[in-house]
Structure 1
Amino acid sequence: MSTLARDLTREVDHVFARLMVRAAGDDNDRAFASMIATRAAGGGALPAWLGLDQADFKRLMAAHFPGISPDVLGAADGASPILANRLNERAELLELLLTYRAPSVPSAPWMAQIVASGCMASDHLWHDLGLWNRAELTALMQRNFPELAARNVYDMKWKRFLYKQLCEADGLAVCRAPSCGVCVDYADCFGSED
């Protein structure tokens, strides 16, 4: 492991531990802490404040990590804003997620906004969100959007699954996969089956 990778891992671990010490005990605390810590260390692909507006990010921090300053992410410098030509796409994903949110999970609307923002990036959704593995994303989807998650019976990659749901809602039989051309696993998904 390179020195840079070790430093990044150390920073993620430090911020994550700091957050989890103050966690409110909600089921989404760990996922939010992973995303915040990864973003604070410069990882993942979420825009500033995880794709929430600044006021909602402050409310998320107060609800899930009371006593921790929302400035844990640092300045918004280096933020990767959502491109204007993709705002409609993000809005459609957000509407899909909000339609299937678990009413018993108070932070599900924030999670919907964050997941929709993560879909705008070009890698696997769990990686773009700053989660540490795909299992964390699956648990997040099952917890926050259980009815939607239950429809993923073939364990399709989550970003692809969400876009497929949009296409099916529009009556499209064939759906372009999101960001496939730049995905690191493109050859695995679209390569020879030999």
Structure 2
Amino acid sequence: MPGPNQAAAAPLAACPSRTRVDDWRQWLLGHAAGDPNARPLASMLASQQCGRGAMPDWLGLGAAEFKALVAHHFPALPLSALQQTGCTLDPSRLDELDELVRLLLNDIARPSGNQRWLAVIVATGCMGSDHLWQDLGLWERAELSQLMERNFPAVAQRNDADMKWKRFLYKQLCETEGIYTCRSPSCEVCVDYHVCFGPEN
């Protein structure tokens, strides 16, 4: 029982319908602690709860790391409110995922917890088959670009030609590993230019 000068804690509002992704995002943002990464994370979680995007359980994080992420960004939110889909990553692609995480964190001397979590989440999104922002469950490409600029500025700055993010990250990975073998002398004259650049709708 609260004391005479203490207000009773407000009960947590009921979860939105799992078919209304906009309501889910607004509900999650109502529990956000103010970190700017909460907005894209709310989009991802809302999409996952409504069966959109291509993210596995825990957004690709382990259960303990996911719990820490939720506690940091949405401290009033019980984990029981978030259903997991039962999806898992293809074990044959785990080495590839680890390489993408290292690529994202390579230019950061002391990655924060936020950056480590988001590196794993972005790399996990790269395992999907659509545009990266869609596989992550974001609302639009600009939301991904802002996330990249805020958390992985050195990587974002290298994408100065605005290449599609998934293509760009794999191109960076191949160049880092010394196996980049694009047949075109420059992007501007490549017959597949539209695959790497242009709209992502």
The TM tier, using the shorter chain, reads 0.7 to 0.9
Bigger mean CA deviation after superposition, 95-104 or 163-172: 95-104
Does 2:98 align with 1:84?
no
**Alignment correspondent of 1:180:** none
Distance 1:101 1:139, change over 3 A: farther
Bigger Cα Rg:
2
Contact 2:171–2:180 (CA under 8 A) maintained in structure 1 = no
Give the counterpart letter for 1:134 in structure 2: R
Q: Which of 167, 177, 188 is residue 174 of structure 2 equivalent to? A: 167
Structure with the higher helix share, 1 or 2: 1
**Alignment correspondent of 2:77:** 68
SS of alignment partner, residue 94 of structure 1: helix
Equivalent-residue separation in structure 2 for 1:102 and 1:38 (angstroms) = 32
Matches within 5 A, 1:28-39: 28-39=37-48
Distance 1:108 1:115, change over 3 A: same
Identity among equivalent pairs (%): 51
Equivalent-residue separation in structure 2 for 1:54 and 1:102 (angstroms) = 26
1:73 Cα offset (Å)? 2.6
Contact 2:58–2:84 (CA under 8 A) maintained in structure 1 = no
Does 2:118 align with 1:111?
yes
Contact 1:12–1:41 (CA under 8 A) maintained in structure 2 = yes
Equivalent-residue separation in structure 1 for 2:41 and 2:83 (angstroms) = 16
1:104 Cα offset (Å)? 7.6
**Alignment correspondent of 2:14:** none
Gaps of 5+ in 1: 1-6, 177-185
Bigger mean CA deviation after superposition, 152-161 or 101-110: 101-110
Give the counterpart letter for 1:20 in structure 2: L
Q: Deviations over 1:129-148 (max 9, x none)?
A: 00010000000000010011
Matches within 5 A, 1:116-131: 116-131=123-138
Aligned-pair RMSD on alpha carbons?
2.3
Gaps of 5+ in 2: 1-16, 184-191, 197-201
1:172 Cα offset (Å)? 2.3
Does 2:63 align with 1:54?
yes
